[in-house]
Amino acid sequence: MVNATVGAVQDRLENVLYLLRIPQRKPWGTMSSDVAACRQALVSDRDAILLVVPEAKRQAADSSLAALSARLESVATAVGAQDADAVSQRTSAALGEVATLEMLQAPGLVFLLPQQYAARPRLLGRAEVELRVERRGGGSFTAGRDGSGPQRSGSLRLVLDGYNAPLTAGNFAALVQRGFYDGTPLAAQPADEAVFALPPGPSPLAGAPLPLEMRGVGEFEPRYRAPLDVQSGDPIPVLPLSVYGSAAMARGAEGNNSDGAAFFLYRYSRANAGLGGIAFEEGQYSVFAYVLGTDGQDLLRQLRSGDVITQAKLVAGAENLVLPEVMTPRK
């Protein structure tokens, strides 16, 4: 769906994040080579990258390329200083810019959705949702959005990926548009690995049950109602759970379906993962989004049982949401 050079840049940056997981001596030289190759590719293949972008979006893509180049320079500086935390944060920011560039290039879905799910909403691209959360029962979050100090409320953004999870992301976006999650309480797992949003009732959306949906690395289209047994050799999902701030739907009561309403934010920890840093639950849940930015991740770390989603709002990408006529947004 995207220019091969941009895909290669993404692969190299993801490899840098993978190499950072090595607990012993880190291969800084390999990371440096990966970043240098990314920087060189953006210079040598710039015209080819822009050529596949629709003309109306070319100026935005040019700006995105410039921003990505600047971020790669900052990653190179952090690698040179062998500052693992800075490399992690700056590489993640660079990958965010890569995602923006890919979004400008991508024409939409390249596969057809199963006919049995035609009545369900779908997201044909990316979107962003802002979750406003409030601390209940006393206490406050350590910093507000503006960094002014402790506050009872805060917000985090989720980037929804309809390219790889169109039904799951579309289901979530449609519920957000209806105001379904406003006032939803949060519940943290005892082990503190996940924060669940537990609406008081079932999804009001029509259509077949929401199927488990995930696309394995190297696969052309998502699998439906078929978990990936990553621990036994199945491919890792394109949208992995093993990332701090991944968002996934809870499992449904029947078969290999997702719950149509309840979702959770995953607080990934390598200490609770298996070989290679892969979560034991990898491939068992439909991941559809990720918390955007370090500010959002900081707020996620502070969420606890009793906190409440006061408002969930679709702030970008509404034009990518397709709603069958029977499921028009609530007014």
Residue-by-residue DSSP string for 46-115:
HHHHHHTS-GGGHHHHHHHHHHHHHHHHHHHHHHHTT-HHHHHHHHHHHHHHHHHHHHHH--S-SSPPPG
Whether 17 and 126 share a structural domain: no
122 and 101 fall within a common domain: no
Over residues 235-246, mean pLDDT:
91
> Could you tell me the residue range of the domain that residue 35 belongs to?
4-105
pLDDT at 327 over 50: no
Could you give the percent of the chain with pLDDT greater than 90? 55
On whether residue 110 sits in a domain, the answer given is no
Ranking 52-61, 78-87, 280-289 by mean pLDDT, the lowest is 52-61
Domain boundary among 105, 123, 158: 105
Cα separation of 330 and 106, whole Å?
Answer: 30
CATH number of the domain within which 180 lies:
2.40.100.10
**Joined tokens for residue 148:** 């002014």
State the average pLDDT over residues 251-258: 88
Average pLDDT, the chain: 88
Cα–Cα distance for residue pair 87/80, rounded to 1 Å: 10
Note whether 125 and 143 are same-domain residues: yes
Which residue type does 68 have?
L
Q: Is the same domain home to 132 and 211?
A: yes
Task: State the pLDDT at residue 191.
Answer: 64
Summarised one tens digit per residue, pLDDT across range 148-179 is 568 889 999 999 999 899 999 999 999 999 99
Say if residue 325's pLDDT is above 60. Answer: no
Strand ranges in the chain using DSSP code E only, listed in sequence order: 122-123, 126-134, 153-161, 184-188, 194-197, 213-214, 223-224, 246-251, 258-266, 287-291, 308-316, 321-322
Same domain, 80 and 167: no
Short-list 189, 181, 187, 129, CA closest to 156: 129
The domain boundary, picked from 74, 105, 136, lies at 105
Q: What's the count of helices (H) and strands (E) in the chain, helices before strands?
A: 7, 12
Q: What is the pTM of this model?
A: 0.72
Place 181 in a pLDDT band, splitting at 50, 70 and 90: very high
Domain-located, residue 136: yes
DSSP bridge partners of 197: 186, 263
Count of structural domains within the chain: 2
How many Cα atoms sit within 13 Å of 50 on the Cβ side?
16
Does 170 reside within a domain? yes
**CA angle at residue 224 from 222 to 227, to 5 degrees?**
95
* Distance separating alpha carbons of residues 257 and 206, to the nearest angstrom: 15
In contact, 292 and 158? CB cutoff 8 Å:
yes
Can you give the pLDDT at residue 149?
A: 64
- The CATH number of whichever domain residue 69 belongs to comes to 1.20.120.290
Is there a single domain that holds both residue 145 and residue 288? Answer: yes
Residue 71 lies in a domain: yes
The whole-angstrom separation of Cα 166 and Cα 160 is 9
Statement to judge: residues 99 and 127 lie in one domain: no
CA angle 286, 128, 166 (to 5 degrees): 40
Q: Is residue 310 part of a domain?
A: yes
Residues 137 and 67 reside in one and the same domain: no
Given 75, 105, 135, the domain boundary residue is 105
Task: Tell whether 198 and 235 lie within a shared domain.
Answer: yes
Residue 8 has phi, psi (to 5 degrees) of -70, -40
Q: Is the pLDDT of residue 326 over 50?
A: no
CA–CA separation, 17 and 62 (whole Å): 26
Class of residue 256 by CB neighbours under 10 A (exposed 0-12, middle 13-18, buried 19+): middle
Residues 166 and 75 in one domain: no
Long-range pairs for 252-256 at CB < 8 Å and ≥24 separation?
Answer: 252/209, 252/210, 252/212, 254/209, 255/225, 256/211, 256/212, 256/225, 256/226, 256/227
Is the pLDDT at 93 greater than 80? The verdict is yes
* C-alpha to C-alpha distance for 195 and 189, rounded to whole angstroms: 6
